[in-house]
Amino acid sequence: MEFQFSDKVNSFKPGIFAALNEKKEERMRKGLPVYNLSIGTPDFKPAPYVMKAMEEACKDPENYKYSLEELPELIEAMQNRYQTRYGVKLEADEIMSVYGSQEGMAHIGMVFCNPGDTMLVPDPGYPMFEMCGIMANANVVPYRLNPEKGFLPDLEDIPDEILKEAKFMIVSYPLNPVCVCAPDSFYKELIAFAKKYEIIILHDNAYSDIVYTGERGKSFLQFEGAKEVGVEFYSLSKSYNLTGARISFVVGNHEIIRKFKVLRSQIDYGIFLPVQKAAIAALNGPEEYVLDQQKNYEKRNRMLCGGLRELGWNVPDSQGTMFVWAPIPKGYESSFEFCMELMEKTGIIVTPGSAFGEHGEGYVRMALVANEEKIGEILKVIKESGILEK
């Protein structure tokens, strides 16, 4: 029997990541060292009190039933977090949970778009942003983030004919992969822009707890009028090292939340109750844990970027996120070419910028998932490889 698959699923290609994984497996079979900086999975552990809450909840057989909705204590914990951390008051009907921001982002486009409707995504940007539109059968239009403008969008450069058709726009700062933060003035401009063109804003706030500018990262919802134009995704994956638990929140405009809940009620029975209990413990836990982790990421950021500059690779310090965004060294024509040679010569795996959109070409992304001892080894093998002397 010959199976016929959809055009949509046939359009998904493993591409770059499959090639990187193949090279990684080849090195491991030969017993050669591998330093995997390609995936943003934190190597820090969840706080003990978070794991304890999960453990205790898992002992109760009642917690293995469908949850159907968020526990009241979880909603209260999110309200308290946003009030104390960002100064934002959230009503109960302005909060909903999702199985991680990836899952939420993959489905929310269906709330806004009919097939063929237009949505806007950053380029370079996290690949799931584009997938949000693809899953909704939308017309995905990238807006360029220019390094000369600090990787901020020039909203006036987006053609009027596109803006008149656009249903929603995804924005994210600090932004993976380019590792920059946005000033307050940008958010104010963005909200006015959204109102003018009646474009819904989806702000991905995954990294506001990992910022190195000397200021605390902010929420889109801190700015006047934000709730009128959109919602924000807030993830517990990176702030609290709960990547595998898969729990995030969508917060903001109550009409969008209400409609998104209707959609998800068709495909979901609620977050596993022990995960909800762990999330409550994390959100209500001491802020010092989050701040100490941010300091550790900052040390890694300075050590890696500063060390690479000493070796002659002009890598700027990140402003935020758990990544580094580096222009490829001189002598290389493509990010993929450099990534493959870097792995072959050193065992260091990084992600080519081309994986993040057309304008990501010429860069690579490195995850800050190696401790300071490992970073020292990485700098040593890069120096000894001669790869920067091409």
Q: What is the pLDDT of residue 14?
A: 64
| Structure confidence by residue, pLDDT tens digits, 210-219 | 999 999 999 9
**Number of neighbouring beta carbons within 10 Å of residue 314:** 11
d(CA 378, CA 47): 28
Tokens of 261: 């809940």
| Structure confidence by residue, pLDDT tens digits, 241-275 | 999 999 999 999 999 999 999 999 999 999 999 99
- 20: confidence class by pLDDT, cuts 50, 70, 90: confident
Q: Which helix (H) or strand (E) holds 352?
A: strand 351-352
Tokens of 374: 């490992």
| Structure confidence by residue, pLDDT tens digits, 114-157 | 999 999 999 999 999 999 999 999 999 999 999 999 999 999 99
3 state SS of 232: strand
CA distances from 275 to 53, 205, 244, 334 (A): 9, 20, 10, 42
Report the Cα–Cα distance between both ends of the chain, in Å, rounded: 52
3 state SS of 152: strand
Average pLDDT, the chain: 95
d(CA 360, CA 364): 8
Instruction: Name the β-bridge partners of 285.
Output: none
Delineate the domains of the chain, giving CATH numbers in brackets.
7-45+288-389 (3.90.1150.10), 63-285 (3.40.640.10)
70 CB-near residues (< 8 Å, 6+ apart)? 95, 96, 97, 270, 271, 276
Q: How many CA atoms lie within 13 A of 87 on its CB side?
A: 6
Tokens of 385: 């490889």
Q: Which helix (H) or strand (E) holds 382?
A: helix 372-385
Question: For every residue of 276-298, which 3-state class applies, written as one string?
Answer: HHHHHHHHHCCHHHHHHHHHHHH
d(CA 341, CA 328): 12
Residue 147 DSSP code: G
3 state SS of 171: strand
Percentage of the residues of the chain whose pLDDT score is greater than 70 = 98
On whether the CB atoms of residues 218 and 115 are closer than 8 A, the answer is: no
Tokens of 336: 């993929």
On whether the CB atoms of residues 281 and 52 are closer than 8 A, the answer is: yes
Q: What is the pLDDT of residue 19?
A: 73
3 state SS of 170: strand
Cis peptide before 174 (omega within 30 of 0): yes
Does pLDDT of 376 surpass 90?
yes
**Number of neighbouring beta carbons within 10 Å of residue 71:** 17
On whether the CB atoms of residues 368 and 374 are closer than 8 A, the answer is: no
Task: Read off φ and ψ for residue 312, nearest 5 degrees.
Answer: 100, 5
CA distances from 68 to 58, 93, 97, 273, 310 (A): 17, 16, 11, 10, 54
Tokens of 140: 């995905």
Q: What is the pLDDT of residue 15?
A: 62
- 26: confidence class by pLDDT, cuts 50, 70, 90: confident
Q: What is the pLDDT of residue 36?
A: 93
d(CA 34, CA 100): 28
Q: What is the pLDDT of residue 274?
A: 98
Radius of gyration of the chain (CA): 21
| Structure confidence by residue, pLDDT tens digits, 321-368 | 999 999 999 999 999 999 999 999 999 999 999 999 999 999 999 999
